[in-house]
Amino acid sequence: MTTAVPDAARATAPTRRRTAGRAAVGPFAAHRKRLYLPFVLPAFLLYAAFLLAPVVATAWISLHAWAGAGPMEWVGAENYTRMFLDPVFRTSFGNTLLLLFGGGTVTFLLSFVLTMLLRDLAGRSTARSVIFFPNIVPALVISILWGFLFQADGLLNSALRSIGIAHPPAWLAEENQFKVIMLGIIWMSTGYYTTIIMAAVDRIPPYLYEDCALAGANAWQRFRHVTLPLSWDVIGICAVLWTINAMKTFEFILAMAGSASSMPSTSTWTASLYAYTSVFAPTGVPQYGIAAASAVVTLALVGVLVVLIRRLMRREALEF
């Protein structure tokens, strides 16, 4: 049976606890209050030093022109205006969004389909391990193999030629390269999200599906009325994870489209690569200000998207 727990009921619990805390004056509570700082402070200092400080420093650097050493020159919002006017940034940002939304849609669709197929499959734990495998292998290794697979004389084109296609597509040509990269990322991520969603689906009591079978529900109806609502929270978390991972996509592109001494072509850049190349291009004075501005924009976008996703996906919690 599923029971809806109203939001209001959940909200009262912490309130009650808070009131109790404030009212308490016993020796235990006082002691606990004294110990609050010594316990929280070390963790907070570490957090401040290694997470908050770099974020604040990044925001600060984004308002300057700086070569990474030497004096910093205050330029205000100029890095941001320059960046948004830069066609290469617009391409990079467009690629990031394409990956985020286009790649995300495909990844989640595939994950749902796989989840539904694997749910009833015999030996599904083996199948699950197999589809999770691409996620264990480092992205760098996969991207390099991916390159060999898709290049002009690669495995794929050799296979296509052997079945009679004389002119197979130029997968790695500049205009197709980002699409192939997206395909690689989708392939790598699908197993990961399928595994998480399957873990949630496994918790759904089988009798609900039996119920569906008795009522004559088809696969889509089972998915729509049982699987989706009962794994909604987990899907929400997956959406947040995907957003963060997609916005940070970096090493796959660098390894697949670049080489030891050369950056990938600008048509494959994402916002992260844009930030990286602003500082670590093989030549040129490092532009820490621009890189930081790009990082701040990415961070802001991730923040907004995560909040939006959480809001959009908020539902009454179901207990079953």
Partner 1 sequence: MNRRLIRRTAAMGLAGALALGLAACGGPTGGASTGDGRELTYWSMWKEGEPQQKALSAAIEDFTAETGIEVDVQWQGRDVLKKLQPTLHGVPAADLVDRSLPQVKSMMVSTGTAADLTGVLKEPIPGEPGRTVGDVVPAKYLELGRAEGKQVVLPYAIVANGLWYDGASFPGLREKPPKDWDAFRATLAAEKKAGRAPLALDADIPDYGAYWYSNFVVGAMGPGSLHEAAADRTGTVWKQPGYVRAAERVAALAEDGYFADGYDASKFPAIQQKWATGKAGFLLMGSWIAGETKPYAASGFDFRMLPFPTDGAPGAGTPVEAATFGWVVPAKARQSEAARRFIAFLYGKKQMQAYADQAQGIVAREDIETAPAMADVARALKEGTPYPTFDGVDMDFAEWWTKTFHPLSTKLVTGKISAADFSEQLAAQSADFWKRAG
Residue 282 contacts residue 262 (beta carbons within 8 Å): yes
Contacts of 2 (CB under 8 A, 6+ apart): 230, 318, 319, 320
Helix 174-202 vs helix 104-119: angle between axes, to the nearest 10 degrees? 40
Contacts of 84 (CB under 8 A, 6+ apart): 90
121 versus 281: smaller Cβ distance to partner 1: 281
Q: Which of residues 249-288 bind partner 1 (CB under 8 A)?
A: 256-257, 259-263, 265-267, 277, 280-287
Residue 249 contacts residue 96 (beta carbons within 8 Å): yes
CB atoms within 10 A of CB 260: 5
104 versus 154: smaller Cβ distance to partner 1: 154
CB atoms within 10 A of CB 197: 22
* Amino acid in the structure at residue 212: C
48 versus 121: smaller Cβ distance to partner 1: 48
Which span (2-10, 41-49, 104-112, 134-142) binds partner 1, by CB under 8 A? 41-49
Binding map of partner 1 across residues 186-215, x = CB under 8 A, - = no contact: ------------------------------
CA distance between the termini of the chain: 6
Q: Which two tokens stand for residue 184?
A: 């690689």
* Number of residues near partner 1 (by CB under 8 A): 63
39 versus 101: smaller Cβ distance to partner 1: 39
- How far apart CA 85 and CA 33 sit, in angstroms, is 53
93 versus 223: smaller Cβ distance to partner 1: 93
CA 57 to chain centre: 24
Least distance from partner 1 to the Cβ atom of residue 293, Å: 14
Least distance from partner 1 to the Cβ atom of residue 191, Å: 24
Least distance from partner 1 to the Cβ atom of residue 5, Å: 24
123 versus 282: smaller Cβ distance to partner 1: 282
Q: Which of residues 47-66 bind partner 1 (CB under 8 A)?
A: 47-49, 52-57, 60-61, 66
The verdict on 69 binding partner 1 (CB under 8 A) reads yes
* Amino acid in the structure at residue 51: L
Residue 73 contacts residue 66 (beta carbons within 8 Å): yes
53 versus 130: smaller Cβ distance to partner 1: 53
The verdict on 126 binding partner 1 (CB under 8 A) reads no
51 versus 117: smaller Cβ distance to partner 1: 51
Q: Which of residues 161-180 bind partner 1 (CB under 8 A)?
A: 170-176
172 versus 239: smaller Cβ distance to partner 1: 172
- How far apart CA 168 and CA 195 sit, in angstroms, is 34
Which span (43-51, 123-131, 184-192, 296-304) binds partner 1, by CB under 8 A? 43-51
The verdict on 11 binding partner 1 (CB under 8 A) reads no
**Residue of 101, 133, 148, 320 that binds partner 1 (CB under 8 A):** 148
Least distance from partner 1 to the Cβ atom of residue 105, Å: 27
Residue carrying the six token digits 């392939």: 187
Would you call 198 exposed, middle or buried from its count of C-beta atoms within 10 A (0-12, 13-18, 19+)? buried
Q: Where are the alpha helices (DSSP H) in 216-270?
A: 219-222, 228-230, 232-248, 251-257
* Residue numbers at the binding site for partner 1 (CB under 8 A): 18, 21-22, 33, 36-37, 40-41, 44-45, 47-49, 52-57, 60-61, 66-70, 72, 82, 85-88, 147-148, 151-153, 170-176, 256-257, 259-263, 265-267, 277, 280-287
